[in-house]
Amino acid sequence: MERLEVLDCEGRCDPALKPQLRPDQIREIYRLMVTSRRFDEKAFRLQRQGRLGTYAPISGQEASQVAPPYCLQKSDWMVPTYRSAGAYYTRGVPFKNILIYWGGDARGARVAPDQRDLFPTICIATQIPFAVGLAWGAKLKAQKEKKTSEVVLCYFGDGATSKADFHEGLNFAGVFRLPIIFVCENNQWAISLPRSRQTAAPTFSQRAFSYGMEGIQVDGNDVFAVHRATQAAVERARAGKGPTLVECETYRLGDHTTADDASRYRSAEEVARWQKLDPIVRLKKYMLQERLWSEAEETKLSSEADLVVEAAVEEAEAFAAPNPVSFFDHTFAELPWNVLEQRKALEEYLKEKDSRKDTVILDKEGRFP
């Protein structure tokens, strides 16, 4: 199975595989990765301080979070998982939205009218079949208008490949030769289960063969390798040459979510081994060696990243609470009698509750998990 590596862990670049990126693009990718890491660390602290709900960290996966969406155009689609802060940020979705969503408010996942980046999918792999449907729609539109196609970037993890949705989705994409790029972020762990529990095959990427599509494994902590493989896949998809499965072999440095404790099931030595392969450190080493970057610029970026993150936290925390009856609003295009009746009942109930002094206190709430 083909495996692509461009940068080694000392940031030295394979001379045959020089990045197809301008210096300003490399600096921009680095900025996106560093700022995403900074946000991730902040989100974790916010959760610990009781200021944020459960959050799924991306630390360690910045290369596979940033490079694939970086290959897209605004008119392309992205269908992410729940571990997606870096991918969203790369697509221009503000961190504020991510905080509002994980703060338990659906408005944080609202997709703007000019945006084609879907809300996070929590149920594993279930986004794959509908991402395939989006790609099918894009193909039909391109055929009708005799234009090159929009493409769909569909994310999932190693665990997702075990589900029927993965098989059915990839099979459709192969059969109908759809303009879709499947990025499998193989971060080695599906909560406590090592990747060896998801497949007996040596790679995830080789499953592409059985669906009649292109497949490639890349060093997922090597942002140039991820970029090169996804860029080629995007170009193939746009040209009507069908789907690609890109396996990014990376590592989840943090817990599965803030509700998890990874030290229960994996060793500190293993984490330390992967920390040495940190995608941000590698890119920085490369940039310093190539004189694309300086420590002065690093200091400047660091304080800029803090400002971006702090501003997002402030905006999210200042965001007004949702209207309690808003959850009825989008059940259907036209609300049926039962939903209308129930909305009215809740409105009246809340009005009455406000005016009464003897309101019974709410039950004690549970804890997640």
Partner 1 sequence: MKDPVLVKESAVHPKKTSPVESSSTKDLNLVQAVNLGLRQEMQRDDRVIVLGEDVGVNGGVFRVTEGLQKEFGESRVVDTPLAELGIVGASIGLAMYGLRPVAEIQFDGFLPPIFDQIISHAGRMRSRSLGRFTVPMVVRSPHGGLVHAPEHHSESPEAYFAHTPGIKVVIPSNPYDAKGLIVSAIRDPDPVIFFEPKRIYRSVKAPVPQREYTVPIGQAQVVRPGKEVTLIAWGAMVHTCLQAAAYLSEEHVEVEVVDLRTLAPLDLETILESVSRTGRAVIAQEAPRTCSLGSEISALIHERALLKLQAPVVRVTGYDVPTPLYKLEKYYFPDVDRVVRGIRETLKF
Q: Alpha-carbon torsion 166, 167, 173, 174, what sign?
A: positive
Q: Counting Cβ atoms within 10 Å, is residue 269 exposed (0-12), middle (13-18) or buried (19+)? A: exposed
Site for partner 1 in 192-251 (CB under 8 A): 192-193, 197-199
Alpha-carbon distance of 225 to 65, in angstroms, equals: 13
Instruction: Please tell me whether residue 115 binds partner 1 under the rule CB under 8 A.
Output: no
Return the residue of 190, 229, 277, 305 that touches partner 1, per CB under 8 A. 190
- The strand pairing partners of 190, in sequence order, are 193
Return the residue of 53, 94, 133, 240 that touches partner 1, per CB under 8 A. 53
Whether residue 252 lies in the annotated active site:
yes
Contact 249, 218 (CB under 8 A): yes
Residues 251-270, one symbol each (x = binds partner 1 by CB under 8 A, - = not), give --------xx---xx-----
Q: Which pair of structure tokens corresponds to residue 25?
A: 């693009």
Return the residue of 115, 206, 231, 342 that touches partner 1, per CB under 8 A. 342
Query: Nearest to residue 249, comparing CAs of 203, 293, 212, 210?
Result: 203
Q: Which pair of structure tokens corresponds to residue 30?
A: 């680095």
Minimum distance, C-beta of residue 254 to partner 1, in the bound complex (Å): 16
Minimum distance, C-beta of residue 296 to partner 1, in the bound complex (Å): 41
Torsion on CA atoms 231, 233, 234, 235, rounded to nearest 10: 90
- The strand pairing partners of 218, in sequence order, are 4, 248
3-state helix, strand, coil in the chain (%, to 5): 50, 10, 40
Residues 66-105, one symbol each (x = binds partner 1 by CB under 8 A, - = not), give ----------------x------------------xxxxx
Q: Give the residue with the Cβ less far from partner 1, 176 or 319.
A: 319
Return the residue of 130, 136, 274, 328 that touches partner 1, per CB under 8 A. 328
Minimum distance, C-beta of residue 316 to partner 1, in the bound complex (Å): 12
- Residues designated as active site: 252, 256, 265
Residues engaged in binding partner 1 (CB under 8 A): 53-54, 82, 101-106, 122-124, 159-160, 162-164, 190-193, 197-199, 259-260, 264-265, 321-322, 324-328, 331, 338-339, 342-343, 346, 349-350, 353, 359-369
